[in-house]
C-alpha cells in the first residue's frame, strides 16, 4: 500500500479542510482499508457535475485501497437538507424519492469503482427508530448550537421560519456515520457542521470520531450559486453529450478556470498554462468539454459533440430538426412522457421541470404541463436551446 504521506499528498489536493488532519494520517498508517462515507440525498432525478467533486475524491480513496460507503439518503430526503438554504425545502413524496434514488444508484458508478463501493439506504436504520430514540438523539444537541450554523442564524434573524424537523437533519446525518462506522466523511463547505455532528455522535456511541474532509462547492453555470437542479444551473452527468458540451462551452472564462480546478484530470502543467492565459479561452473550453463528455459518455461521443457545437454555433449552420417517429396506439401522448421517451430528458421529472421553466416549445410556442401530442398532427418540438425534433406518430409495429 502507498505510504501514509504519499496518500495524504494525493488526498489533500483540492480539499478546503481536514479535521483533524493528524488523525487521518494516523488512520492511513494503520495499514487497513478505511471506510469513507459520502451521503447523497435523492432530492432530484440525476447526479450533476457538482456531485462529482466529492465522488471523485471518494474514487481517489478507492484507488488507494480504501472502501467507499455511499449512503443514499432516502429517509433524510423526506426532510430535506437545510444546509445553505434560505427557506424550508418543499417536501417530497416517497414515490419521488424512490424514483430519484434508483437513478442515483444507476449513475454513481460512472465515477466510483463498483467492487469497492458499499451502497446503503439510510431508511435501513432511521425508519425503525422509536420516538424515544429520536428524543434521546435530539437531546444531544442544543438550540444554541444549532443557531451557530450560518444558514439557521440568518433565517432566525430575518424572521424566516425554521421547521423543527430541519433541526433533526444534522442529527440524522450524523447517526448515519454511527450506523456505518465511518472513518472519514466527505462533504462540501456547506456540510461542515453536519460532518462534525457525526463525529460527536460517534464518540458518544463509543466509536472513534470520523475525520471530516471538507471540499469546495462547484458553482453552477450562472457562476453565482452552487450547482443545483432546483436552480436550473446544473450540468447532469447523464445529459446528452451535445447538451453537456454546449453548457460547458457557455461558461464564462473565470468560471471555466474554476471548473478546471475542481473537475479536470488534465496534467497540472496543462492546467497551469490555461490559468496563465497561454491557451485561448475557446480552445481551453473545448478541451475541458471534450474531457468531461468523454468521461461520462465516451471519446466518440465527445468528438461528435464537438463537431455538433462547431456546426451549430461556430459555423452558424442552420439547426435542422431531427425527424422522430413515435410508435403508439394511443390517441395522444403527454408532453413530459414524450420528451422522456425520445431522449430529450432523462426522466419525466426533468421533463416537467423543463416545461415549467418555459424551456419547451411546440410549433414555436411555449406549452404548459397539460399539453398533449395528438395523433395525425405533425409537430415541431423544441426542448432547451439545442434539441429540435419534427414529431410524427405511427401505429406500433
Number of other CB atoms surrounding residue 244 within 10 Å: 23
Look at residue 84 in the predicted model and tell me its pLDDT. Answer: 54
Tens digit of each residue's pLDDT (9 = 90 or more) over 179-214:
999 999 999 998 899 999 999 999 999 999 999 999
Contact 198, 182 (CB under 8 A): yes
Q: Which run of H or of E encompasses 31?
A: none
Question: pLDDT higher for 51 or 229?
Answer: 51
What is this structure's pTM? 0.74
Ordered structural domains, the chain, with CATH: 4-215 (3.40.50.620), 241-314 (no CATH), 322-394 (3.10.290.10)
For residues 3-27, average pLDDT:
94
| Rounded Cα distance, 236 and 393, in Å | 29
For residues 275-301, average pLDDT:
92
Tens digit of each residue's pLDDT (9 = 90 or more) over 90-117:
666 777 778 777 888 888 999 999 999 9
Percent of the chain with pLDDT over 90: 47
| Rounded Cα distance, 220 and 263, in Å | 13
| Rounded Cα distance, 176 and 170, in Å | 10
DSSP 8-state assignment for residue 115? G
Tens digit of each residue's pLDDT (9 = 90 or more) over 216-228:
999 998 888 888 8
Among residues 224, 285, 227, 294, which one has the least CA distance to residue 257?
Answer: 285
3-class SS at 185? strand
Look at residue 272 in the predicted model and tell me its pLDDT. Answer: 92
Arithmetic mean of pLDDT over the chain: 87
| Rounded Cα distance, 181 and 33, in Å | 13
| Rounded Cα distance, 14 and 188, in Å | 12
Predicted confidence band of residue 319 (pLDDT cuts 50, 70, 90): low
Predicted confidence band of residue 83 (pLDDT cuts 50, 70, 90): low
For residues 351-355, average pLDDT:
87
Tens digit of each residue's pLDDT (9 = 90 or more) over 116-159:
999 999 999 999 999 999 999 989 988 888 888 877 888 888 88
Predicted confidence band of residue 342 (pLDDT cuts 50, 70, 90): confident
Look at residue 316 in the predicted model and tell me its pLDDT. Answer: 52
Look at residue 86 in the predicted model and tell me its pLDDT. Answer: 46
Amino acid at each position: 500500500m502507498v505510504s501514509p504521506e504519499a496518500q495524504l499528498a494525493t488526498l489533500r489536493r483540492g480539499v478546503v479542510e481536514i479535521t483533524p488532519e493528524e488523525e487521518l494520517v494516523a488512520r492511513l498508517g494503520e495499514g487497513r482499508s478505511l471506510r469513507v462515507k459520502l451521503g447523497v440525498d435523492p432530492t432530484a432525478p440525476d447526479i450533476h457535475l457538482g456531485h462529482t467533486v466529492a465522488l471523485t475524491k471518494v474514487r481517489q480513496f478507492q484507488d488507494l485501497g480504501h472502501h467507499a460507503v455511499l449512503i443514499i439518503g432516502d429517509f433524510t430526503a423526506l426532510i430535506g437538507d437545510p444546509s445553505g438554504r434560505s427557506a424550508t425545502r418543499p417536501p417530497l413524496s416517497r414515490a419521488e424519492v424512490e424514483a430519484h434514488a434508483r437513478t442515483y444508484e444507476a449513475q454513481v458508478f460512472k465515477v466510483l469503482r463498483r467492487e469497492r463501493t458499499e451502497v446503503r439506504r439510510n431508511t435501513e436504520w432511521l425508519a425503525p427508530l422509536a420516538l424515544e430514540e429520536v428524543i434521546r438523539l435530539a437531546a444531544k444537541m442544543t438550540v444554541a448550537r444549532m443557531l451557530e450554523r450560518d444558514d439557521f442564524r440568518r433565517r432566525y434573524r430575518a424572521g424566516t421560519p425554521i421547521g423543527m424537523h430541519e433541526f433533526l437533519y444534522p442529527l440524522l446525518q450524523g447517526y448515519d456515520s454511527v450506523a456505518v462506522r465511518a472513518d472519514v466523511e466527505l462533504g462540501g463547505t456547506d456540510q461542515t457542521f453536519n460532518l462534525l455532528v457525526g463525529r460527536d455522535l460517534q464518540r458518544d456511541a463509543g466509536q472513534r470520531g470520523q475525520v471530516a474532509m471538507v471540499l469546495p462547492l462547484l458553482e453552477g453555470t450562472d457562476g453565482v450559486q452552487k450547482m443545483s437542479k432546483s436552480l436550473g444551473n446544473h450540468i447532469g452527468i447523464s445529459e446528452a453529450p451535445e447538451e453537456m458540451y454546449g453548457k460547458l462551452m457557455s461558461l464564462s472564462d473565470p468560471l471555466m478556470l474554476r471548473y478546471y480546478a475542481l473537475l479536470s484530470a488534465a496534467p497540472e502543467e496543462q492546467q497551469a498554462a490555461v490559468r496563465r492565459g497561454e491557451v485561448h479561452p475557446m480552445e481551453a473550453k473545448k478541451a475541458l468539454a471534450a474531457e468531461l463528455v468523454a468521461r461520462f459518455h465516451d471519446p466518440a461521443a465527445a468528438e461528435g459533440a464537438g463537431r455538433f457545437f462547431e456546426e451549430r454555433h461556430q459555423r452558424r449552420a442552420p439547426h435542422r430538426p431531427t425527424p422522430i417517429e413515435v410508435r403508439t396506439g394511443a390517441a395522444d401522448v403527454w408532453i413530459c412522457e414524450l420528451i422522456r421517451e425520445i431522449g430529450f430528458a432523462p426522466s419525466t421529472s426533468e421533463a416537467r421541470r423543463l416545461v415549467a421553466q418555459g424551456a419547451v416549445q411546440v410549433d414555436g410556442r411555449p406549452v404548459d404541463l397539460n399539453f398533449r401530442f395528438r395523433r395525425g398532427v405533425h409537430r415541431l418540438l423544441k426542448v432547451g436551446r439545442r434539441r429540435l425534433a419534427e414529431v410524427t406518430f405511427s401505429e406500433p409495429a
